[in-house]
Amino acid sequence: MASITLPTVAGVALAATGAAHFVAPDAFRPITEPVFPDDTRTWTYRNGASELAIGTAIAIPATRKIGLVGLAVYVGFLGFRAATA
Task: Name the domain count of the chain.
Answer: 1
Mean pLDDT of the chain: 96
Residue 68 lies in a domain: yes
The residue segments making up the domain with residue 37 are 6-84
Q: What is the pTM of this model?
A: 0.93
SS3 3: coil
Q: Is the pLDDT score of 51 beyond 80?
A: yes
**Nearest alpha-carbon partner for 58 in 4, 1, 15:** 15
**N-terminal to C-terminal alpha carbon distance within the chain:** 48
Residue 52 lies in a domain: yes
Residue 1 lies in a domain: no
- What average pLDDT does the segment 73-84 reach? 96
